[in-house]
């Protein structure tokens, strides 16, 4: 009986003499995607540019945690051991400070840009349904470019368990008129049992800073269930929205919050 021959020998080489790969091929590194160290440098550079004091706060956090570890080590008579454990904790404290400062810097970069509200809504978690483009807008005359959008009033909408939240930005008078008109429309479609909150984004009295917008939205009491929120969102989507008369080549949705910078990585 003839003996069956194998395509490979004991070393794993094929009959053709080519070595056989036993493991999956490593994915080539994307040259356009920076590594973690490069990302950290980018975040640090961006944060220092908008908040020069951030480096000193990071250093203070590092030293406070390290000093605390040193005191605990002296108390336990294990100075070297506890100090070694305290170094990574001190680094984590410094990174935490950087993440908070980077988040503020990221908001500061887009705060004055038209359509920044839609970018912030993109950071909402599950349970919220939102439109990153305005559901209503009033341009206030002939639009020629992105610079004229600073005079545009815009209304953004989000739906969650607290109900419907209408966020307005831009010139106060036109923005408030649009918000009231949108609120009447939402009430007519969603019904009286669904709360409608109107929030004005800005830095003046009675206005909410862009960096505190999400916190304000989440602070409202939950009045409807998740299923009811889904139904309200579907009804609002079904009636459609009047497309804002944006000038050619201008899209406020292109403003985006740097999520890596907000998370400090």
> Do 193 and 228 share a domain, yes or no?
yes
How much is the pLDDT for 247? Answer: 46
> Do 120 and 236 share a domain, yes or no?
yes
Of 110, 137, 154, the residue at which a domain comes to its end is 110
> Do 160 and 208 share a domain, yes or no?
yes
Q: How far, in Å, CA of 124 to CA of 147, rounded?
A: 28
pTM (whole model) above 0.75: no
Instruction: Report pLDDT digits (tens) over 30-84.
Output: 555 666 777 777 777 777 777 788 889 989 999 999 999 999 999 988 888 888 9
Average of per-residue pLDDT across 257-262? 44
Binned at pLDDT 50, 70 and 90, residue 174 comes out as confident
> Do 43 and 157 share a domain, yes or no?
no
> Do 152 and 187 share a domain, yes or no?
yes
Q: How far, in Å, CA of 42 to CA of 48, rounded?
A: 10
Q: Is residue 81 part of a domain?
A: yes
Q: How far, in Å, CA of 97 to CA of 102, rounded?
A: 8
Q: Is residue 141 part of a domain?
A: yes
Q: Is residue 23 part of a domain?
A: no
| Structural domain containing residue 225 | 116-241
* Sign of CA pseudo-dihedral 242, 247, 248, 253: negative
How many folded domains does the chain comprise?
2
Q: Is residue 254 part of a domain?
A: no
> Do 140 and 220 share a domain, yes or no?
yes
Across 82-86, 171-175, 244-248, which has the greatest mean pLDDT? 82-86
Q: Is residue 2 part of a domain?
A: no
Q: How far, in Å, CA of 50 to CA of 55, rounded?
A: 11
> Do 153 and 89 share a domain, yes or no?
no
How much is the pLDDT for 72? Answer: 92
Residues 6+ apart with CB under 8 A from 91: 62
Q: Is residue 5 part of a domain?
A: no
Of 64, 86, 110, the residue at which a domain comes to its end is 110
Among the residue ranges 105-114, 181-190, 206-215, the one predicted with the least confidence is 105-114
Instruction: Show the tokens assigned to 51.
Output: 């908040």
Q: Is residue 8 part of a domain?
A: no
Of 110, 140, 169, the residue at which a domain comes to its end is 110
Q: Is residue 251 part of a domain?
A: no
């Amino acid at each position: 009986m003839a003996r069956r021959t194998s395509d490979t020998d004991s070393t794993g080489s094929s009959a053709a003499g080519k070595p056989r790969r036993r493991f999956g091929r490593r994915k080539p590194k994307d040259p356009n995607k920076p590594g973690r160290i490069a990302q950290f440098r980018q975040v640090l550079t961006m944060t220092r540019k908008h908040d020069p004091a951030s480096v000193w706060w990071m250093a203070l956090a590092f030293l406070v945690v390290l000093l605390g570890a040193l005191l605990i080590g002296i108390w336990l008579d294990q100075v070297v051991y506890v100090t070694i454990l305290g170094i990574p904790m001190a680094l984590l404290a410094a990174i935490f400070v950087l993440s908070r400062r980077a988040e503020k810097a990221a908001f500061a970069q887009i705060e004055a840009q038209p359509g920044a509200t839609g970018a912030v809504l993109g950071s909402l978690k599950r349970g919220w349904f939102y439109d990153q483009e305005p559901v209503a807008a009033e341009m206030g005359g002939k639009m020629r470019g992105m610079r004229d959008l600073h005079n545009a009033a815009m209304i953004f909408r989000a739906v969650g368990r607290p109900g419907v939240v209408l966020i307005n930005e831009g010139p106060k008078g036109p923005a408030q008129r649009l918000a009231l008109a949108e609120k009447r429309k939402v009430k007519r479609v969603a019904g009286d049992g669904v709360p409608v909150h109107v929030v004005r984004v800005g830095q003046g009295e009675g206005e909410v800073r862009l960096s505190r917008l999400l916190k304000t939205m989440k602070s409202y009491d939950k009045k409807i269930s998740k299923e009811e929120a889904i139904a309200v969102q579907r009804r609002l989507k079904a009636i459609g929205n009047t497309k804002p008369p944006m000038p050619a080549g201008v899209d406020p949705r292109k403003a985006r919050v740097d999520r890596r910078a907000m998370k400090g990585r």
